[in-house]
Amino acid sequence: MAKVEFNIACTLCDHLKDSLFNGLNPEDLSRINNHKTCIQYKKGQNIFYEGTRPTGLYCMNGGKVKVFKNNVQGKEFIIYIAKPGDFLGYRALLSEEFYQATATVLEDAKICFIPKESFFEVLQKNPTFMRRVVQAVCHEMGIMEEKLAELAHKSVRERLAANLLMLKESYGMEGEGSSLIELALSREDLASIVGTATETVIRLLSEFKADGLIAFEGKKIRVLDARKLAKQADLIIA
């Protein structure tokens, strides 16, 4: 499927405030803007593949992208879901390693690609920007460590409840005392996030619904009682 190019100036991007590019001086932001390529991707298209070498940085302008690994049995495990304002592939780019995961579009996406040379040029001349990027890499590594700890120490019920709360915080639209998770995840994708079988997720979601913790709106999930869901996750929320 062909990819369609679009163009939007970095200074006019609605998500600049959420991006690591926020705060760059006009000269550096102009350098990024003048060398980037912006492409529209359809659901299901791949951005990059595990085991390939990065040639630049991807910056999300719209849509959702899942970043995942496959185990030796070929089972998918979703590490995180990228949203507008997020960077993709920067850890492998900075370490000059192959991608350790695959990125696939979950919802039609607009993504800007910045060539390696242009990104590194701005990074090397701007210590404040470099510090922010390093902090973002550390945060990403922390997320991976947390997910590994969850797999080792939490039950499937606890992991599902915790991930529903995480999705609520990242993609929740508040209203009428509840939060609609604005992300149409398939049950297979949700199982890949939790690290379990699809059938198990379907059964637990039905139990959460029967207990009044969540409701279904098509493929989307509404969190009705975050406190009780946190109790299922063995978490304490304010």
Q: Measured between alpha carbons, how far is 215 from 203 in angstroms, rounded to an integer?
A: 14
pTM above 0.85, yes or no: no
pLDDT for position 211: 95
The domains of the chain, with CATH numbers, are: 4-152 (2.60.120.10), 155-232 (1.10.10.10)
Please, are residues 61 and 13 in contact by the beta-carbon 8 Å criterion? yes
Residue 131, CA distances (Å) to 24, 82, 94, 206 in order: 12, 21, 13, 44
Q: What pLDDT score was predicted for residue 177?
A: 63
Q: Are 76 and 8 in contact (CB under 8 A)?
A: no
CA 210 from centre of chain: 29
Q: Tell me the two tokens of residue 56.
A: 């630049």
Amino acid 87: pLDDT = 92
Q: Which SS3 state, helix, strand or coil, does residue 40 take?
A: strand
Q: What is the pLDDT of residue 23?
A: 86
- Name the residue among 201, 200, 197 with its Cα closest to residue 77: 197
Spell out the per-residue pLDDT of the chain, length 238, in tens: 546 677 888 998 999 988 989 989 999 999 999 999 999 999 999 999 999 999 999 999 999 999 998 877 778 889 889 999 999 998 899 999 999 999 999 999 999 999 999 999 999 999 999 998 988 888 878 777 777 777 678 899 999 999 999 899 888 876 656 689 988 889 999 999 998 999 999 999 999 999 999 999 988 999 999 999 999 988 755 4
List, edge to edge, every strand of the sheet that includes 220-223: 172-175, 178-181, 220-223, 214-217
Q: Residue 32's CB: how many other CB atoms inside 10 A?
A: 20
Which residue, among 162, 157, 164, has the nearest Cα to 216 in the 3D structure?
164
Measured CA to CA, the distance from residue 94 to residue 150 in angstroms comes to 27
